[in-house]
Amino acid sequence: MLFRMSPLRVSHAAAAVAAAALCGVLVAPWSARAQAKKPVTLEALASAGARMMGPGVQAFWSPQGGRLAVIRSEKLLLHDAATGEEKEIVNLSELSRQAQPFPQPEQMTWENRRVREQRIQWSQDGSKILILSGGDLFLWEESTGRTTQLTSTPAAERDPKLSPDGSKVSFRRDRDLYVLEISSKKVARLTHDSSETLWNGMLDWVYPEELDLGTAHWWSPDSSRIAYLQFDVSREPLYPHGDFLKMAAVAEPQRYPKAGEPNADVRVGVVSASGGATKWMDFGETRDFLIARVHWSPDSNSVLVHRLNRVQDHLWIAAADAKTGRSRVLIEETDPAWINITDDFRFLSGGRILRSSEQSGFRHLYLHAPDGTILKQLTQGEWEVSSIACVDENGGRIFYVGTQASPLERHLYRTSFDGAAPALVSPGAGTHSIQMSPACDYYLDTFSNLDSPPRTTLHDAGGREVRVWREPDTKILEEYEILKTEIHRFRGSDGTEFYGRLIRPAKFDPSKKYPVIVSVYGGPHAQSVRNAWPGGVSWEQVMAHKGFVIWQMDNRGSAGRGHRFEAPLYRRLGKQELADQLEGIRYLTGLGFIDPQRIGVQGWSYGGFMTLYCLLHAPDVFKAGAAGAAVTDWRNYDTIYTERYLGLPSENEQGYRDSSPVHAAANLKGRLLLIHNIEDDNVLFANALQMMNALQQAGKSFETLIYPQKSHGLMGRASQHRWAEQTRFFEEALR
């Protein structure tokens, strides 16, 4: 998945009084400035950029609700939601010292880097907590108050899971699955046939990256069996990364299937928790199909999968008998563009299923009968359900996060199984990030809006605030002059409504004409313009203090507005996005303080691709661009993402060519800064090299920044260097 760089934290505090009269402009309320605030500089970005929120706090709800396990300062605490009482139960630093160190590879390994291993897990009865520390496993038991070390091995235990009955722990060691019996600490190996190219319970690179699949094995509810994915990656091509800073260069190959190349062959097996032969589930052909999700039925008799065809416009939710492997299709969906997969799938009593779907053009909740037929659509309208937060079947309540109030906001709502009108639960206009108890009795709400940095509070299920969980450290806002962010609403020439965000320069004078830097992302699964806290000290603030207007908008193809708004980029990336970005430029120019001869553009990942696309397909509009980690030829990007939006290269050759900046290098007129990391595992360095070659062959001048030993993002000194060079570049190009 291409993503937006986190250092691009925009800022605001309120809006200029003159802007308040603009139609369709949402601005933060004015607040008096403290005396002698500092301007945001590159030095401030380096020293203060991460100070806003302070140290993070991780919280894990107990399955019964009412209390949380909390990691704070490497201590594991129990927090009572009703009383606020807290007690330390485990010193995690001590566990790290007890864990046996496991050998670190001399070269980078690429598989499972995005797998969401759970460091803390409650048992289903709430009496135990499994802890992963330093590659070893520990178990805290409430009955004794003691923590027991379960494993001490040179090899790391990966992706551990407590069995539902709390008696066993499953995990992966290297490329095979194991089960440990807690009472005896005996370990049974469940799979024995792994190799360099055959992986049991272990994901390849592209599945977690593009399907957001976080694990490859699942306990049956009765704790008797485990379903797992087996990946045969023998056909996946190897990409030759290398670490060239060592005196003897080290090869670091990564299995990376590019568009049109073979994916891994993936099948689903079921094995007894005590060992024995694997029973393979028969869901049909494995080649050119994807297993996106796996579930057990509540009675432990069936394994359900979400199975997609290769180009992801056809979904089958099928159930296989865990004993025989025979399967049947329960739910089938097709889409003229593509189908987005989520985790919104819940079993209910009597075999009914609650799930979300975009079949109406917006993601909504549907209730299905055990045979898969739709019983009722529970939510509807031109807004979307972002995620299911909790299901209280006994109470007849469904909690979900959605955009009903505004596509710029996220709120917690409650509805019922009869499809009654949703009720708003979370107070306050803005963005609510919800972490709800599995018992649906309490929730943590991290709330922000344009005028309020993120603040986390604990609420009961009715929305009543119980206590403040975490306050932001706002000293940085008192130290630096954070310029205001405005949200603008406008219509394009075809009547489509768009949203953009604007930061005016320091000492803004509406009679002047200012240079503009357009920050762009523009791709699927991302929404840049939100009624949410954009940040504090940031590079965009640096540039606004240097006299630049900062602008960003969400074009068609972006998230948050439903599948209908997202789908127009299908089979031709860049064209619709650029057309909408040009609508934004026309709107900006109409405000009267923009110099149309000094417009620059910058972005990272999909935003880097869009930067190149803007420069090469609208060269008379965009005079300079800084393109970071850009896809330059979509044949170079991974199978699952690229084929979802463009189809197969063999079936859309022209669409691939027209979408790839490398074929338009001769159109470059303005100045270009091309930035890439040599060991980028997401957008391969080959993209940059091929773009450089195309520009050289076309006789075009450009600048480059190349960072060794860095993957897809930049941090620390490398990030500081990038921002300093990018600042110099735009000051030279647009002054």
Tens of pLDDT, residues 184-196: 999 999 999 999 9
pLDDT score, position 473: 86
Domain boundary (453, 470, 487) is at: 470
Tokens of 163: 């069995």
Q: Is the pLDDT of residue 453 over 90?
A: yes
Looking at the fold, whether 417 and 518 belong to one and the same domain comes out as no
Instruction: Say if 27 falls within a structural domain.
Output: yes
- How long is the chain? 735
Looking at the fold, whether 480 and 619 belong to one and the same domain comes out as yes
Calculate the dihedral angle through the C-alpha atoms of 202, 207, 213, 219, rounding to the nearest 10 degrees: -30
Q: Band the pLDDT of 535: cuts 50, 70, 90.
A: confident
Looking at the fold, whether 537 and 595 belong to one and the same domain comes out as yes
Instruction: Say if 577 falls within a structural domain.
Output: yes
Looking at the fold, whether 465 and 487 belong to one and the same domain comes out as no
Span 649-678, average pLDDT: 99
Q: Band the pLDDT of 29: cuts 50, 70, 90.
A: very low
Q: Is the pLDDT of residue 16 over 50?
A: no
Instruction: Say if 504 falls within a structural domain.
Output: yes
Question: 3-class DSSP state for residue 82?
Answer: coil
Q: Is the pLDDT of residue 5 over 90?
A: no
Q: Quick check: is 680 catalytic?
A: yes
Query: What whole-number percentage of the chain has pLDDT above 70?
Result: 93
What CATH number does the domain containing 393 carry? 2.120.10.30
Looking at the fold, whether 631 and 495 belong to one and the same domain comes out as yes
Q: Band the pLDDT of 536: cuts 50, 70, 90.
A: confident
Among the options 170, 223, 558, 605, which is catalytic? 605
What lies within 8 Å, CB to CB, of 160 at 6+ separation is 117, 118, 121, 130, 132, 137, 169, 170, 171
Looking at the fold, whether 446 and 538 belong to one and the same domain comes out as no
User: Given the structure tokens 């120019």, which residue do they identify?
Assistant: 589
Looking at the fold, whether 395 and 462 belong to one and the same domain comes out as yes
pLDDT per residue as tens digits for the range 37-94? 999 999 999 887 555 555 567 999 999 999 999 999 999 999 999 999 999 999 999 9
Looking at the fold, whether 522 and 629 belong to one and the same domain comes out as yes
Q: Is the pLDDT of residue 17 over 80?
A: no
Tokens of 105: 């590879």
Long-range CB contacts for residues 235-240, cutoff 8 Å, separation at least 24: 235/262, 235/263, 235/264, 235/265, 236/204, 236/261, 236/262, 236/263, 236/264, 237/261, 237/262, 239/684, 239/686
In three-state form (DSSP H/G/I as H, E/B as E, the rest C), the secondary structure along 167-235 is: CEEEEEECCEEEEEECCCCCEEECCCCCCCCEEECCCCCHHHHHHCCCCCEEECCCCCEEEEEEEECCC
pLDDT score, position 22: 31
Q: Band the pLDDT of 311: cuts 50, 70, 90.
A: very high
pLDDT score, position 108: 57
Q: Is the pLDDT of residue 23 over 60?
A: no
431 closest CA partner among 473, 479, 509, 487: 487
Q: Is the pLDDT of residue 325 over 70?
A: yes
What lies within 8 Å, CB to CB, of 309 at 6+ separation is 288, 289, 290
Residue 446 near residue 455, CB atoms below 8 Å: yes
Span 516-538, average pLDDT: 95
Give the rounded distance of the alpha carbon of 312 from its chain centre. Answer: 19
Q: Quick check: is 605 catalytic?
A: yes
Residue 45 burial class via C-beta count within 10 angstroms: exposed 0-12, middle 13-18, buried 19 and up: buried
Q: Is the pLDDT of residue 552 over 90?
A: yes
Tokens of 367: 């209730």
Cα–Cα distances (Å) from 440 to 11, 62, 467, 668, 676, in that order, read 34, 11, 17, 56, 45
What lies within 8 Å, CB to CB, of 250 at 6+ separation is 106, 107, 242, 243
Looking at the fold, whether 488 and 456 belong to one and the same domain comes out as no
Instruction: Say if 290 falls within a structural domain.
Output: no
Q: Band the pLDDT of 427: cuts 50, 70, 90.
A: confident
CA distance 528 to 517: 15
**Residue 480 has what DSSP assignment?**
B
Span 96-111, average pLDDT: 73
Instruction: Say if 442 falls within a structural domain.
Output: yes
pLDDT score, position 47: 84
Residue 69 burial class via C-beta count within 10 angstroms: exposed 0-12, middle 13-18, buried 19 and up: buried
Span 400-426, average pLDDT: 97
Q: Is the pLDDT of residue 10 over 80?
A: no
Q: Band the pLDDT of 14: cuts 50, 70, 90.
A: very low
Among the options 680, 681, 711, 719, which is catalytic? 680
> Kind and range of the H or E element at 75?
strand 75-80
Residue-range definition of the domain harbouring residue 536: 17-52+474-670
Looking at the fold, whether 651 and 508 belong to one and the same domain comes out as yes
137 closest CA partner among 161, 111, 110, 166: 161
Among the options 306, 545, 676, 712, which is catalytic? 712
Instruction: Say if 680 falls within a structural domain.
Output: no
Q: Quick check: is 511 catalytic?
A: no
Domain boundary (626, 654, 670) is at: 670
H-only helix segments in 60-186 = 92-98
Q: Is the pLDDT of residue 116 over 80?
A: no
Domain boundary (670, 700, 719) is at: 670
Looking at the fold, whether 399 and 413 belong to one and the same domain comes out as yes
Residue 677 near residue 288, CB atoms below 8 Å: no
In three-state form (DSSP H/G/I as H, E/B as E, the rest C), the secondary structure along 22-47 is: CCCEEECCCCCCCCCCECCCHHHHHH
Instruction: Say if 427 falls within a structural domain.
Output: yes
**41: number of Cβ within 10 Å:** 17
Looking at the fold, whether 479 and 535 belong to one and the same domain comes out as yes
pLDDT score, position 114: 63
- Look at the chain and report how many structural domains it folds into: 2
Instruction: Say if 242 falls within a structural domain.
Output: no
Tokens of 638: 């991974």
Residue 390 burial class via C-beta count within 10 angstroms: exposed 0-12, middle 13-18, buried 19 and up: buried
Span 376-395, average pLDDT: 98
Span 629-654, average pLDDT: 99
pLDDT score, position 4: 40
What CATH number does the domain containing 511 carry? 3.40.50.1820
Residue 667 near residue 283, CB atoms below 8 Å: no
